[in-house]
Amino acid sequence: MSAAIPPSTAAGVALEDTPVRATAVPRRRRHRPWTFDKVSFFVVFLGLPLAVYLIFVVSPFIQAFYYSLTNWGGFSATFDFVGLFNYTKILTDDLFTRAMINNVVLVILVPVVTIVLSLILAILLTVGGSSYGQTRGLGHSGFYRIVSFFPYCVPAVVIGLMWGQIFDPSHGLVNGLLTKAGISSANEFAWLGEKSTAMPISIFIMVWAYIGFYMLLFVAGIKSIPAEIFEAARIDGAGRFRTAISITVPLIRDNVQTAWIYLGIASLDAFVYMSVLNPFGGPDNSTLVMSQQLFSTAFQKGQYGVACAMGVVIALMTMIFAGIVGLVNRLTGGKDTVTLA
């Protein structure tokens, strides 16, 4: 016969077996008072740059969009509102359409060629040296960096004039060397005056001017990768090409994306190079770009409303291009963060 457990004891056991949950008391967030140092910090480092951006970037763009909806001549105080007529006019104009096509060609070829060549040179100067011993670049890599960066220090106008003289049909260096080599067809050949060669030569000159800067950009990115990663890849038997594709390029993806956007913006402009090499658009407008057409429409024809519409189209194309680059980078794994253990 079992002994009865007193109610008080049973209650005590039940209370002991039941886990007690501690209720978390929410802590009140302390709001620090706005001091003069905090206010001045926000004003100087946030308010001032934002004000400058709104005044000198956003405001002119809004103003240009407003004038693009008018028939403003540039110097008159009165003008009429024409709506989207200017946009319809330029998008149905064969000359501006040709300039848009030329810009699209530039925005495809110039970034691709420049980035590929810059990556190859950067890899050679950082990890493309001897396969034995410590991972390093080619010998005298510092000298190559200085020489490669030199074209970027020269103004674009000077580069255009210099290469215009080099490709001059009568006394240019290129035709002189080719003629000396026995190629008689190169005698007085107009490289920038022929439709088949004007655009390729212009692309070559732009790539030559950009390649040094972006090579150094990629060199800085590769230098930030720990050498142990390349050593481990070498031990695992990975070759140079495999290491470059599977390790180097993915780890400097942000640098490549930045270069792609900057080169795309430069290619959508290309005003200086094209104006110096071919001021009137080249043979059969083969090198005419939108910025050249905008300049002539505004300052030669006096159609500032139409020119503003062209500027808005260029700005929209630039933003679309940047969005496409960002989207492609995200879809190809750019959203994934690479962490180095």
State the pLDDT at residue 45. Answer: 84
Q: Report the phi/psi class of residue 188: left, alpha or beta, with left for phi > 0 and alpha for psi in -120 to 50.
A: left
State the pLDDT at residue 204. Answer: 96
State the pLDDT at residue 273. Answer: 94
What residue spans in the chain does CATH classification 1.10.3720.10 cover?
A: 84-331
State the pLDDT at residue 184. Answer: 81
CB 277 within 8 A of CB 283: no
CB 282 within 8 A of CB 292: no
Classify residue 271 as exposed, middle or buried by CB count within 10 Å of its CB (0-12, 13-18, 19+): middle
Alpha carbon distance 267, 207 (integer Å) = 10
Alpha carbon distance 246, 262 (integer Å) = 24
Alpha carbon distance 287, 171 (integer Å) = 23
Collapsing DSSP to helix, strand or coil, 3 comes out as: coil
CB 260 within 8 A of CB 111: yes
Alpha carbon distance 277, 287 (integer Å) = 9
- The CATH architecture of the domain made up of 84-331 is Orthogonal Bundle (1.10)
| CA dist 250 → 18, 52, 254 (Å) | 55, 36, 9
CB-CB neighbours of 158 under 10 Å: 10
CB 227 within 8 A of CB 304: no
Whether the predicted model's global pTM rises above the 0.85 cut: no
Compute φ and ψ for 57, nearest 5 degrees: -120, -60
State the pLDDT at residue 22. Answer: 53
**Amino acid letter at 302?**
G
State the pLDDT at residue 320. Answer: 93
State the pLDDT at residue 143. Answer: 78
Alpha carbon distance 98, 91 (integer Å) = 10
Question: Cβ contacts of residue 92 below 8 Å, gap of 6+?
Answer: none
Partners of 70 in beta bridges: 81
Tokens of 231: 């050593």
Tokens of 297: 């429409």
- Mean pLDDT, consecutive 10-residue stretches, the chain (341 aa), reads 50 50 59 76 84 92 93 85 93 94 95 94 80 66 79 90 92 90 85 92 95 92 86 80 86 91 92 92 92 93 93 93 88 61 47
| CA dist 154 → 147, 151, 159, 208, 210 (Å) | 12, 5, 7, 11, 11
Classify residue 63 as exposed, middle or buried by CB count within 10 Å of its CB (0-12, 13-18, 19+): exposed
Question: Cβ contacts of residue 340 below 8 Å, gap of 6+?
Answer: 225, 226, 229, 251
CB 85 within 8 A of CB 309: no
